[in-house]
């Protein structure tokens, strides 16, 4: 990835729900929430995923 460019999947997501970066960059931007309804976080494999909660209306 060239600096300033996004991956195809990030650019193609119609809901803007994806982002790519180092875990440190993503944690700084979105926080460190690693659990979400319907997703089982596995402490043994430590998936590289962060969830951004929906804003309440």
CA distance 51 to 10: 15
Would you say residue 1 has pLDDT above 70? no
| Domain with 43 in it | 1-57
Strand partners, 39: 36
The answer to whether the beta carbons of residues 48 and 23 sit under 8 Å apart is yes
Per DSSP, helices labelled H in 1-57 are: 8-12, 23-30
* Contact (CB, 8 A) for 26 and 50: yes
- So what's the pLDDT on residue 19? 92
pLDDT tens by residue, 19-49: 998 889 999 999 988 888 888 777 787 778 8
**Domain count within the chain:** 1
Residue 30 sits at φ, ψ, to 5 deg, of: -120, -10
């Amino acid at each position: 990835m060239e600096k300033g460019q996004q991956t195809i999947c990030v650019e193609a997501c119609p809901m803007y729900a994806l982002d790519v970066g180092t875990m440190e960059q993503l944690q700084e931007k979105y926080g460190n929430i690693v659990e979400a309804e319907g997703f089982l976080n596995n402490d043994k494999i430590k998936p590289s995923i962060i969830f951004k909660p929906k804003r309440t209306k």
